[in-house]
Structure 1
């Protein structure tokens, strides 16, 4: 015994009592009266506890993932952004130089948000992405912005195949319906991947010039071969800097913050111009929903023209057809030029029917924008990142 302990018998007694007490606790915990039985059962007990714990963790993880997924898809009760730009993503190198044109469009949208100083959402709808190709969010650069948010909704093959079985072949128009349904912006605009925003559109967004219950279209120049390009078709070299890209579609001087749109037009005036309205259409998100989106099945290739004729006559929405260009297009090979004649063969009859309120070119209320498909069960994907993007 050490000198300290020999001089402190009370301390020795306390230590002995503590040792006896701890030994009793250990024996009780181990079940000293049945040591062999519990030694055999203990591994099974531990395995059961571990399995239960793993099930709880897995279940909580699944719940968390589904909650995050629902949050990503949720459009919000009130508009979180002034504008949602909906783009049907197509990773097929359409028009041959699609990668560079697509990146230019993304950068042009970054500049739109920067110069308009309005909250904007860039919403990509990637439909049935091809195997062996990079996904949109992995293929391009997305810059951090105080005003711009990026969101990606992907229709996977499992969901695409289920629609084919139930509703027949799908078209780009149904992708637009998905955009309408999930968009968070007060206004929703559809454009193509080769678009470049004009100073007029930047000013219109900055001025908050748009109104509810109105469909906004713009005049379009076609892509047929010509010796000199119109000012609305821009020929950008690869990797333009921000100044070059921002001024590529300047077109005219602006009174910044005081943009004025033209008054609504009469429907009959602009049918021949509407061959290209697929490339730009803007309306308040409630206006799109009032008209139940785009039709899920189509009889004409220029689907939006039929839709516009219908919503203005059936739903009494106003039409603004602006010849002050709101977007430019990047120069590219027009692979659909030979299809233009077949696209509008029925335009005269279609116009007459729509104007007489005989054409209801709309979807059924319960069968548009992925309804009644179970989005979670069919593995609809959603990803977003915004001002916290590094």
Structure 2
């Protein structure tokens, strides 16, 4: 889960993370802590869309017009936004709405930005995403894929940038997403309840320390937090130079083909996730070990053809991966916990 979240922060174009797991396993806590790891960003002051003053692709239409007119855009630094989408949200609340009465009476476009506008260049978190209406999930995934949100009402059209890291979480006991929607999430992480008594005691102890004195707890972990933030920032800068060698790209596609993965999203996501991981490790070239660490996260949820089937534990993906890459067969049944991506 942590690895998938970090890779999507390094490369927001990956396409988001779907986290499924038992109740009380820290899914929401982990996601909400993610925003604190991110460096501050420069935005155009007073702009509701967090427009980038230097990148035209991340500017709203109004800011772009001002930029082309030669206006000196006021700049301010702002913490990356973490936007929560409530289950009861309407489409107007998510996408924004146009004030038709004002538009007709004054002849101006009066647009009230929604949650997608606030989430631009940030993180949009949907807890219990498997309980969200399918049409809202479609809207979120379309905006995340295209990077723009378009609202059309009564012949009036407004669009604004909506590039965000989409993170969804849920409990599989409450139902799964349709395979077509699952496929749109770049990565799928499964979180299981810890069974080791010593680790459970450690978690309880840390929670007690936080509850008794949150400031002291945060101070004790500040150095590790800052180091992780530095690594993420460095990886974002290195990502443009990172490449996947052609033989490895060929093997990734061979794995997807043997697993009968529909479409090409699996190939694309696996390549991009491997690049992000290599950059996170400080390298400009992807290795087979990088692919091994992300391949299950990228493909496990793309194997399900029937909505009544359960999502693969990862064993099938790992088995095919090892055969294609000429590695020894996996020794477990696919239920071993994911390796912690962060150094202790």
Which one has a larger percent helix, Structure 1 or Structure 2? 2
Fold shared, TM-score > 0.5 on shorter chain: no
Give the number of the structure whose alpha-carbon radius of gyration is greater.
Answer: 1
Q: TM-score, normalised to structure 1's length?
A: 0.27
